[in-house]
Structure 1
Amino acid sequence: MREEGVDAARGDGRDETEEERADRQWQELVQEIRVAQTGVQILFGFLLTVVFTPHFQGLPQTDKTIYIVTVVLGSLSTGALIGPVAFHRIVSGRRMKPEAVVWASRLTFAGILLLLATLTAALLLVLRVAMHNAFVPWLVAGVLAWYLLCWFALPLWARMRYTNNDD
């Protein structure tokens, strides 16, 4: 049963029960997963085809190792980003939506971290094959820094800057 005024006292501007909040958070999470999942699945599908090209056999062992690591990371990322769907399907109807949201959120965050590693490794591999020079690690480091800024630093800064410390 809803306690009147509790949400208003917290100042979040919402008047919703725990179940309504879980439903809203689940919908928001599903939308976020759709964006990340599509990208990782396209990248992973592309990565799976590379090994079957004639050029792959001529790659140095270091590049083949980077490729294998990238494919494994892509697979792990795909699994983590699809995990919330399976989780929801298995626990659906068990009256544990708030807990499902927490676990799905954790899986999604793990998937994002694995996607970060996948994209970085894939970029390293592609640039090593394309450029063959010492500038590659610096370029990859710059792109990684950009990912970290966009995906983590900016949101964390905004969270600290615009979140009420009384919460």
Structure 2
Amino acid sequence: METDSGKGEALRSHQDEPAAARDRDARPDGRDETADERADRRWGELLQELRVAQTGMQILFGFLLAVVFQPRFAELNDVDHAIFVVTVGFGAATVGALIGPVSLHRLVAGKGLKPQTVAIASRMTLTGLLLLFCTMVMVFLLILRVALHDTLAFWLVAVMAVWIALWWFAIPLWARHRAHRTSRR
């Protein structure tokens, strides 16, 4: 049993610790990091993810912007023109969502909001990935409608949309659910 003097020593030693050491939060994942260190790590990971998504979107959006200046664009029917307009809209929304975290960080940098910034930027990135999915599906639809001129295009797009959704969303959500279920045991 601890004496009162033991409690006082423990309190004094705790007060003498640096603030960062007191703020350390041992996580179930085995990491021993402060909230700020965790936010810095998560921000770095998010930036790596954004680099991949932004590069792919820049190439795709560049393709979309160039399509309208091609001679065959005038030959597209009204439905294909509408698909193109919707696709460009999705593309622009995707660019906005995927570049949004950069603007967010720039506007709040140095304000002591790193954990909140990471959380908001993470949501922006997920929104950007959902919009990128929609953009890719629409681009694929437009290309296959022009190339095939029949209903086979819709079936091929549906198969590809399910395929991408499986790899981008279903498997990660399944892994997340499985890890959560395992950690509760």
Task: Provide TM-score, normalisation by structure 1.
Answer: 0.94
Please state if 1:36 is matched with 2:53.
yes
Aligned positions, number: 165
Tell me which amino acid in the other structure corresponds to 1:44: F
Conservation of the 8 A alpha-carbon contact between 2:46 and 2:122: yes
Paired residue secondary structure (1:93): coil
Equivalent residue, structure 2, for 1:26 = 43
User: How big is the shift at 1:114?
Assistant: 0.4
User: How big is the shift at 1:6?
Assistant: 4.2
Tell me which amino acid in the other structure corresponds to 2:169: F
Tell me which amino acid in the other structure corresponds to 1:105: S
User: How big is the shift at 1:103?
Assistant: 0.8
Please state if 1:143 is matched with 2:163.
no
Please state if 1:166 is matched with 2:184.
yes
User: How big is the shift at 1:166?
Assistant: 2.9
| Structure 1 pair 11–65 and aligned structure 2 pair: CA distance change class (3 A) | same
Alpha-carbon distance in 2 for matches of 1:88, 1:112: 19
User: How big is the shift at 1:62?
Assistant: 0.4
Equivalent residue, structure 1, for 2:96 = 79
Alpha-carbon distance in 2 for matches of 1:126, 1:77: 19
Paired residue secondary structure (2:32): coil
Equivalent residue, structure 1, for 2:76 = 59
User: How big is the shift at 1:158?
Assistant: 1.1
Alpha-carbon distance in 1 for matches of 2:86, 2:167: 24
Per-residue CA distance 1:4-35 (angstroms, 9 max, x = gap): 8841xx42210000000000000000000000
**Larger Cα-atom Rg:** 2
Alpha-carbon distance in 2 for matches of 1:22, 1:5: 13
- 1:98 aligned to 111, 115, 126, which one? 115
Alpha-carbon distance in 2 for matches of 1:57, 1:5: 62
Tell me which amino acid in the other structure corresponds to 1:20: E
Please state if 1:126 is matched with 2:143.
yes
Alpha-carbon distance in 1 for matches of 2:108, 2:25: 29
Tell me which amino acid in the other structure corresponds to 1:58: E
Alpha-carbon distance in 1 for matches of 2:23, 2:106: 32
Q: CA RMSD in A?
A: 1.5
- 2:65 aligned to 41, 48, 69, which one? 48
Higher relative contact order (CA 8 A, sep 6+): 1
